[in-house]
Structure 1
Amino acid sequence: MTTTEIKQTPATSPRLNFAKAAPKAFKAVIGLDAAAREGLDPTLVDLVQIRASHLNHCAYCLHMHTSDARKAGESEERLHMVAVWKEAAHFFSAKEQAALALTDAVTLVADAGVPDDVYARASAHFDDQELAQLLALIFTINTWNRIALATRKTAGEDERVS
């Protein structure tokens, strides 16, 4: 492909279908996602997925996970506050705040690593197994965000629906 051809590609046109092009890798991520959720509160799972998707600017995943959260009964008020959870901490429990702080640190790990105080805060609210599950969930949503961004998934087109 020439430079001219690359420039003519609209920024919104989808790229390859990752699930079809790399089915084993795709299934492995699905397996990790399912395993990561085990034992975690579904509301917490939604909040973590929404927050990481905000940070990664992944409109496809953000749309999907806010829709899931609404269907599960999450309030519009809290959904709007996830993006500014530090400034609106009173909307979230201490455990949710700890999970959101860990999500921020792990998602933005290149900025400052995972600070000891953030890790300690999370470990005060989650036992070792839950903390490992939470970390796996954060790793997984970051992977999904990168797949969606790299392949230019379109927000609002939830491929899980047949």
Structure 2
Amino acid sequence: MTTTETARRVNLFEAAPEVYKAMVALDAAARKGLDPTLVELVLTRASQINHCAFCLDMHTRDARAAGISEQKLYLLSAWEEAPGLYSDRERAALALTESVTVLTDGFVPDEVYDRAAEHFDDQELAQLISVILTINAWNRIAVSTRRVPTVR
């Protein structure tokens, strides 16, 4: 069966409502103290990597609402090639997002971690890592249960 065909998948949150509640609480706790625009860039980039259409739809809308420009959103998948568009702090967060999200490329390199640590204090770095972990969990839930964006 291809991903374009409809298959019956469990609604994880109806079948396991405590998991949903825990995810919502984790998501809220992870975001505390971080700039909402930075968070939306991270959430969108991880969702791009994970091919999660449901989360991409949600977080690009949220990013726009948070004031992120169309240009930043359009070029997000090529952020390394647009150095003047993203701040050093955003670039460090995006590099960490990619390293944590794509663990099949190896562990998070010291260079990537150290770069992030230059731009975020320990608490912010812990929050950022938590945001990355949380979006990866949301992506995996949405992809495995085939959540799709609503056509508008």
Name the TM tier (shorter chain): over 0.9
Q: Which residue of the partner structure matches residue 26 of structure 1? A: 20
Cross-structure match for 1:112: 106
Match of 1:136 in 2: 130
| Cα distance, 1:10 vs structure 2 | 5.7
AA matched with 1:84: A
Partner Cα separation in structure 2 for residue 82 and residue 11 of structure 1: 29
Q: Name structure 1 gaps, 5 residues minimum.
A: 1-6, 158-162
Alpha-carbon offset, residue 8 of structure 1: 9.4
Equivalences for residues 52-91 of structure 1 within 5 A: 52-91=46-85
5+ residue gaps, structure 2, are none
C-alpha distance in structure 2 between counterparts of 1:66 and 1:59, whole Å = 10
* Count of residue pairs brought into register by the alignment: 152
Structure 1 segments of 4+ aligned residues over 2 angstroms from their partners: 7-14
RMSD: 1.8
Superposed CA offset, 1:85-108 (max 9, x none): 011122100000000000000000
* Larger displacement relative to structure 2 (141-150 or 64-73): 64-73
What amino acid sits opposite 1:57 in the alignment? Answer: H
Following superposition, the deviation at residue 112 of structure 1 comes to 1.5
Out of 148-157 and 122-131, give the one that drifted further: 148-157
In 2: Cα distance, 1:57 partner to 1:68 partner: 18
CA distance in 2, matches of 1:14, 1:47: 32
**Deviation, structure 1 residue 63:** 0.6
Larger radius of gyration: 1
Identity %: 57
